[in-house]
Each structure stands twice: as C-alpha cells, then as structure tokens.
C-alpha cells in the first residue's frame, strides 16, 4: 500500500555511501526530503541529484535534510556523490524493500520510480511529488512546501 500525505513515514535503516547505517528516525525533530531515484550516474538521476545539490543550502536554511535512496550499492553511491560533489546522504536500498514499503511504484512496471516525500519534524508525510521526468520539479516543489511548513 502506498504512503499518503498524513501517514507516518515508515522508519528504516540502510547503509550510506560512507558505509554507516542510517535510520530515518535519527532525523526526527527536523524536516526531511526523502527522494527515491532509479539509478546512480544516469542522465535523469544526475540532473535531479545535482538540482538538490545546487539548492541544498535552501533546504538546510529551513532546517531540512535531503536524503537520496536507490537500489545501488554503497560503493556506487560513494562514487556518484564524489563525482558530483553531493553534500547529502545517499542510501542503498538493495532489493528495494524500503522503496516497496513506501509504495514508490515502478514506471511501466520496469524502472524504479522517481518520487520525493517531504516529511515533517514529527515524521508525518506532508507532501509527495511523483514525476519520472520533471527532475527539477522534485526540488522546486519540495522547496515551496518546506517554506510553507516554516511559516506554519
């Protein structure tokens, strides 16, 4: 079953590009932008990740953290993050168990989907942006939501 706005984001623990285990619950108390993407170092995923990189200060200025998740290995994530100087955490969801727990569907049943969740400081999903091809939209739309959350 897919996660919806208003649901509590399922907790998980995955391995980061640095080899450390990272749990979603360790970020409680601040907003999270959790984005699932298909694959490291592909054109669309690079565009999306670099857009998050380029706007990263906008996210941190409102207290939010950005976390990327794909089925790639921690080693692949490490190379991808280094190549594009990504300042945020990338998590390895090999086997797509976390992706499945969020209901982040595959495109045409073949390619892992591209979906972003904005999770508030209490762990509740406030916004979902689901678009395979609007790479920069993931960044722009989530920034707008975070600004509204800051005001609220």
Active site residues: 45
Cα distance between residue 86 and residue 78, in whole Å: 10
Structure tokens at 70: 């794909």
Which residues, at least 6 apart from 149, have a Cβ–Cβ distance to it below 8 Å? 31, 62, 118, 120, 126
CB 39 within 8 A of CB 45: yes
Handedness of CA 55, 136, 22, 81 (dihedral sign): negative
β-partners of residue 125 are: 119
Cα distance between residue 104 and residue 86, in whole Å: 23
């Amino acid at each position: 079953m897919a996660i919806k706005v208003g649901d509590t984001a399922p907790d998980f623990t995955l391995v980061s590009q640095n080899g450390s285990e990272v749990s979603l619950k360790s970020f409680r108390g601040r907003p999270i932008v959790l984005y699932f993407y298909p694959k490291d170092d592909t054109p669309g995923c690079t565009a999306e990740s670099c857009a998050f990189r380029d706007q990263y200060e906008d996210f941190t200025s409102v207290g939010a953290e950005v976390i990327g998740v794909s089925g790639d290995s921690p080693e692949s994530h490490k190379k991808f993050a280094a190549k594009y100087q990504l300042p945020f955490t990338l998590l390895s969801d090999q086997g797509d168990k976390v992706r499945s727990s969020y209901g982040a569907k595959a495109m045409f049943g073949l390619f892992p989907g591209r979906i972003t969740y904005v999770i508030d400081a209490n762990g509740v999903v406030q916004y979902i942006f689901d678009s395979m091809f609007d790479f920069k939209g993931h960044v722009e739309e989530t920034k707008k939501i975070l600004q509204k959350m800051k005001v609220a």
